[in-house]
Amino acid sequence: MTFEDEIIAKWIRRVIAGGMMMEEKINPYKNAQKQFDQAAALMDIDKNILPRLRKTNFELEVNFPVMTDNGEIKMFTGYRVRHKFMTPTKGGIRYAPSVDLDEIKALAFLMTWKCAVVDLPFSGAKGGITCDPRTLSKGELERMTRRYTYEMRNVFHPDRDVPAPDMGTNAEVMAWIMDTYSIIENNGNTVSSVVTGKPVELYGSQGRAEATGRGVVQIAERAWREFYRGDLKGMKVAVQGFGNVGSVSAKQLELRGCKVVAVSDINGTIHNKRGLGIDDVIAYSLKTKTLQGYPNAEHSGVKDILELPVDILVPAALENQLTPENAPRIKAKMVVEGANAPTTVDAEKILAANGTIVVPDILANAGGVTVSYFEWAQDKQELQWEEQRVYDELSKYMDRAFVRVKNAAKQYNTDLRTGAYVLAIGKVANYVKMRGHFP
């Protein structure tokens, strides 16, 4: 490469990086704080309490080595953030290239309000590692997880901070966390309640894997009935993201008679106007690890799914998907947030002006943490509930939360998201007020 070539290459890299920075401008933590502020402004809350609630209060960044399969050492950056009021704090662990401190702070902050909406005795936390898990072998994933757990040995604890799965992690990863923690902190004796979302055979709860998607669809059904006076049968649906939350939501919607016309993953959208067969799509994506090449559908770009002519859109991938740029083109009558923070504050204003109902993440996807709470409680008592009991309890919690959010929204003459925040902030503010300020 000549000197000029190098300069040009550098310049191109800078332009690409600049473009990416422009895309990444929406800070999910600031976005969540704006949602919080909108609700707090409607409430009469002690001015000494609000600043404590508005910020996460524990942030840890660790850089640690992992040996790759070919014997090289690669450095990884991991995080754990807590928003500590009621303990233990609770929240998932994300493995994704997008993971940074602000993303994890946003997700920890949201967890507090989510736990309060469903009335769990937890506040929020979140963790993650900046990585692309698809490029790591199973051995590398395991070594990375165990080393991250070691770095977090003074943070994770059954009564202090209890992780769970999130994007890019699963029950197997939770099993490695439990095993590593038990070895390091308890001489190899099992500490099952230090993490939730474990395999059922390894002190996990029945129904945890399905919990978030089931909750999403139960809330979608309640909200649809509330705002459009009908059931879900025959409604056209699109689901963005076909992982844990997206695939279970799509299946549950299909079971309720919806026509799931499109689903997507990181590689693109698949679309069939007559409706996709979700079992078939699940079988295909489990086998190939992608929706690419799926035979019975049209294929299009990753974000095309968001703008399709459907009744209900379930974003179930990642944050900042509905932005002021695409919000004017969203055709769904209702957006049900399976993902955390998929809608920016400014996009939501545009959606509201167009009459689209947004069912917020801190209500819609709270089923996962609810069954994580059941799992933690089962582990503490060393017993296991039957699947039906888990689903019945989950259904009760979600139903109660929906009614409370709806009533708060009505009382404050506001939307569902602000109603959910009002409910949650009221609960946590009261808790903090009763405990007082130390020293």
Question: Which sequence positions are flagged as catalytic?
Answer: 126
Binding mask 314-353 for ligand NAD (x = CB under 6 A): --xxx-------------------xxx-------------
Residue 168 or 185: the one with the smaller Cβ distance to ligand NAD is 168
Residue 193 or 212: the one with the smaller Cβ distance to ligand NAD is 212
> Taking CB under 6 A as the rule, does residue 306 contact ligand NAD?
no
Considering Cα of 281, then 235, then 356, then 55, what sign does the dihedral take? negative
Do strands 268-271 and 161-165 pair parallel, antiparallel, or not at all (unpaired)?
A: unpaired
Residue 242 or 385: the one with the smaller Cβ distance to ligand NAD is 242
Closest residue to ligand NAD: CB criterion: 243
Q: Give the phi and the psi of residue 138 in degrees, each rounded to 5.
A: -60, -40
> Taking CB under 6 A as the rule, does residue 166 contact ligand NAD?
yes
Residues shown for the chain: 439
Q: How far is the CB of 33 from ligand NAD (least distance, A)?
A: 18
For residue 216, give Cα distances in angstroms to 168, 201, 277, 373.
Answer: 19, 26, 20, 17
> Taking CB under 6 A as the rule, does residue 265 contact ligand NAD?
yes
> Taking CB under 6 A as the rule, does residue 215 contact ligand NAD?
no
| Binding span for ligand NAD by CB under 6 A among 23-31, 73-81, 311-319, 407-415 | 311-319
DSSP sequence for 203-271: TPPTTHHHHHHHHHHHHHHHHHHHHHSS-STT-EEEEE--SHHHHHHHHHHHHTT-EEEEEEETTEEEE
Q: How far is the CB of 107 from ligand NAD (least distance, A)?
A: 6
For residue 422, give Cα distances in angstroms to 18, 40, 77, 409, 430.
Answer: 38, 7, 35, 8, 12
Task: Collapse the DSSP code of 96 into the 3-class scheme (helix H, G, I; strand E, B; otherwise coil) and give the result.
Answer: strand
Q: How far is the CB of 150 from ligand NAD (least distance, A)?
A: 23
Q: Give the phi and the psi of residue 301 in degrees, each rounded to 5.
A: -70, 165
Binding mask 223-262 for ligand NAD (x = CB under 6 A): -----------------xxxxxxx----------------
Task: Collapse the DSSP code of 354 into the 3-class scheme (helix H, G, I; strand E, B; otherwise coil) and give the result.
Answer: coil
> Could you tell me which residues come within 8 angstroms of residue 329 by beta carbon, excluding any fewer than 6 positions away?
307
Residue 165 or 207: the one with the smaller Cβ distance to ligand NAD is 165
Q: How far is the CB of 290 from ligand NAD (least distance, A)?
A: 8
> Taking CB under 6 A as the rule, does residue 165 contact ligand NAD?
yes
The CA distance from 156 to 80, in Å, is: 9
Respond yes or no on whether the N-terminal peptide bond of residue 199 is cis (omega within 30° of 0).
Answer: no
Q: How far is the CB of 5 from ligand NAD (least distance, A)?
A: 32
Q: Where do contacts with ligand NAD occur on this chain (CB under 6 A)?
A: 165-168, 212, 240-246, 264-266, 302, 316-318, 338-340, 365, 368
